[in-house]
């Protein structure tokens, strides 16, 4: 066996074993990277340290901590709650209304924080107790909230798009634009799936609120609704870059929380910063660990090996895309979104480009697939968040998420069959 082939075996077997024993993902990536270096006779502690630093030494990655901070400030400062209250005022009276509230709030919040975990935690904390109180089946409700939370990586501003853009040297602005229409389609897909689920449920319809009350709830959410306009408008007009947009989002959320809504005290800011710093540390350590593994994968010439395997499919872009998506669906069951991007995007993108696939379209599909992986067992990070917040077993949430998982898979297949759904709006909005 050649050193390169042995390195590949070490990587796959190492990741499976280390994840199987419950080791931290970032540490597992560093150790498998070190193992690959050893078998290829590239062992050099300085080289490993340099790659660890290189993994986080990137200006666009500065967006990550600020998007995480923006999400925390939104939750602590009452911005998330006001969005949910507004959605509740308009559609809460409809039969199964809280489900529609969850979908509407998920889409609106996705356009502000860019973090699936932050959005899901906020939605689950506020909506699941209300759903329990009104007799909604908790498994299905939790599944819907989890499915709504993963719209956040798709609609701009999106933290995974930033990580993907940095990793593959793809335009982050173009990736942001590419996510608008697919994100809205995901929301519409959830509405149809929820309506389908409602057939078997006996939920009472409520009384609609007077128009004055609805307008009052909308007025209270005004500052929250202005936020995506500022962010997307600022990037579109070139006032600030996607990286700077994250800072704008965090600063805006801070000003609104402290001085407009006044639901957060200056004394609480320390706790918010600590929570954001902890989440940031996890993501950044993942980026550092993945860089070590990615460097060794490049040395082992794995992209060329993969190109050799998929070479015959280069002549048929859609078939190649289909094979890649199926592969990523399987990977998504075991890996979180960020490590999937960091490890596999640099390997797969050159093959896609060789087949004539638009790199922005491929980036959108890659992140969408990875986002679906967040609600796919057994790893599904978002499922774990919902289960924890709703005090439900993971098995219940997995059962409840299935109808929405099928819907998202159908949407993914639709985008593979008709790439124009993604590429046409990007060309129009650029």
Q: With cut-offs at 50, 70 and 90, classify the pLDDT of residue 380.
A: confident
Q: Is the pLDDT of residue 422 over 80?
A: yes
In this structure, what token pair is assigned to residue 96?
């199964």
Pick left, alpha or beta for residue 169 (phi over 0 → left; psi -120 to 50 → alpha; otherwise beta).
left
Residue 143 has what pLDDT? 96
Residue 8 pLDDT > 90, yes or no? no
CA-based nearest residue to 61, from 171, 179, 167: 167
Give tens-digit pLDDT for 22-52.
788 788 889 998 998 999 888 888 988 998 9
Helices (H), 300-336: 302-310, 317-332
| pLDDT for position 379 | 72
Cα–chain-centroid distance for residue 81? 21
Q: Binning pLDDT at 50, 70 and 90, where does residue 6 land? A: confident
Question: Tokens 């990615």 map to which residue?
Answer: 294
The burial class, CB within 10 Å (0-12 / 13-18 / 19+), for 268 is middle
Closest CA relative to residue 410, chosen from 253, 244, 193:
193
Whether the per-residue pLDDT at 1 is higher than 80: the answer is: no
- Residues 308-313: what's their mean pLDDT? 76
Coil, strand, or helix at residue 282? Answer: helix
- Of the listed ranges 85-89, 306-310, 348-352, 353-357, the least confidently predicted one is 306-310
Report how far Cα 248 is from the mean position of its chain's Cα atoms.
20
Q: Tell me if 96 sits within 8 A of 279, measured CB to CB.
A: no
Lowest mean pLDDT among 3-7, 127-131, 418-422: 3-7
Across 92-96, 190-194, 284-288, the highest mean pLDDT is recorded for 190-194
Contact call for residues 159 and 68 (beta carbons, < 8 A): yes
* Cβ pair 361, 419 in contact under 8 A: yes
Neighbouring residues of 332: CB distance < 8 A, sequence distance ≥ 6: 340, 369, 370, 372, 373, 374, 376
Gap between the Cα atoms of 14 and 3, Å rounded: 16
Query: How far apart, in whole angstroms, are the C-alpha atoms of residue 79 and residue 109?
Result: 9
Please compute the mean of the pLDDT values over residues 103-115 and round it to a whole number. 89
Cβ neighbourhood burial of 338 (10 Å; 0-12, 13-18, 19+): buried
- CA 310/CA 4 separation, integer angstroms: 18
Residue 75 — pLDDT band, cuts 50, 70, 90? confident
| 166: CB partners within 8 A, 6+ apart | 58, 60, 61, 172
Question: What percent of the chain is helix, strand and coil (3-state, nearest 5)?
Answer: 80, 0, 20
Q: What is the pTM of this model?
A: 0.89
Distance CA 271, CA 262 (A): 16
Instruction: Give the pLDDT confidence score for residue 253 in this predicted structure.
Output: 93
Question: Percentage of the chain with pLDDT > 90?
Answer: 55
Across 2-6, 86-90, 189-193, least confident range = 2-6
Q: What does the longest C-alpha to C-alpha distance in the chain come to?
A: 74
Tens of pLDDT, residue by residue over 311-362, are 778 889 999 999 999 989 988 887 889 888 988 898 899 889 989 999 999 9
* pLDDT tens digits for range 12-22: 888 888 878 87
Residues 6+ apart with CB under 8 A from 323: 310, 313
The predicted structure's pLDDT at residue 289:
87
Distance of CA 95 to the CA centre of its chain: 29
pLDDT at 117: 86
Give the whole-angstrom CA distance, residue 172 versus residue 241.
9
Peptide bond into 157 cis (omega under 30): yes
Residue 157 has pLDDT above 90, yes or no: no
Region 93-99: what's the mean pLDDT?
A: 92
Cα separation, 115 vs 122, whole angstroms: 11
3-class secondary-structure state, position 341:
helix
Note the pLDDT tens digit of each residue in 183-238: 999 999 999 999 999 987 778 777 899 999 999 999 999 999 999 899 888 988 88
Extract the tokens encoding 264. Answer: 């957060």
Question: What does the mean pLDDT of the chain come to?
Answer: 90
């Amino acid at each position: 066996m050649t050193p390169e082939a042995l390195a590949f075996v070490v990587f796959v077997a190492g990741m499976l074993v280390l994840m199987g024993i419950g080791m931290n993902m970032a540490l597992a990536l560093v150790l498998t990277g070190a193992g690959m270096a050893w078998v290829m006779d590239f062992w050099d502690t300085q080289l490993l340290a340099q790659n660890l630093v290189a993994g986080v030494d990137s200006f666009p990655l500065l967006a990550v901590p600020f998007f995480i901070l923006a999400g925390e400030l939104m939750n602590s400062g009452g911005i998330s709650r006001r969005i949910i209250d507004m959605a509740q005022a308009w559609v809460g009276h409809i039969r199964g209304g809280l489900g529609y509230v969850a979908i509407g709030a998920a889409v609106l919040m996705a356009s502000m924080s860019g973090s699936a975990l932050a959005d899901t935690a906020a939605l689950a904390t506020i909506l699941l107790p209300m759903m329990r109180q009104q007799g909604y089946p908790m498994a299905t409700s939790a599944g819907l909230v989890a499915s709504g939370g993963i719209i956040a990586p798709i609609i701009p501003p999106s933290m995974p798009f930033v990580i993907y853009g940095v990793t593959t040297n793809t335009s982050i602005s173009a990736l942001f634009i590419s996510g608008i229409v697919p994100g809205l389609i995901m929301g519409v897909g959830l509405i149809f799936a929820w309506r389908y689920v409602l057939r078997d449920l006996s939920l009472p319809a409520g009384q609609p609120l007077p128009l004055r009350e609805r307008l009052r709830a909308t007025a209270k959410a005004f500052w929250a609704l202005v936020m995506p306009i500022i962010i997307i408008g600022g990037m579109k007009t070139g006032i600030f870059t996607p990286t700077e947009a994250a800072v704008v989002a965090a600063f805006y959320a801070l000003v609104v929380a402290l001085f407009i809504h006044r639901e957060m005290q200056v004394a609480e800011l320390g706790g918010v910063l600590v929570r954001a710093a902890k989440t940031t540390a996890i993501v950044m350590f993942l980026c550092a660990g993945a860089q070590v593994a990615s460097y060794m994968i490049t040395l082992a010439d794995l992209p060329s090996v993969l190109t050799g395997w998929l070479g015959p499919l280069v002549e048929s872009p859609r078939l190649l895309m289909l094979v890649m998506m199926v592969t990523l669906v399987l990977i998504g069951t075991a890996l979180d979104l960020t490590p999937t991007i960091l490890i596999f995007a640099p390997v797969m993108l050159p093959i896609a480009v060789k087949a004539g696939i638009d790199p922005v379209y491929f980036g959108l599909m890659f992140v969408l697939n990875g986002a679906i992986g967040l609600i796919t067992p057994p790893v599904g990070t978002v499922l774990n968040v919902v289960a924890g917040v709703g005090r439900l077993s993971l098995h219940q949430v997995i059962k409840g998420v299935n109808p929405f998982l099928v819907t998202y898979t159908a949407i993914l297949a639709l985008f593979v069959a008709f790439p124009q759904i993604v590429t046409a709006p990007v060309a129009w909005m650029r």
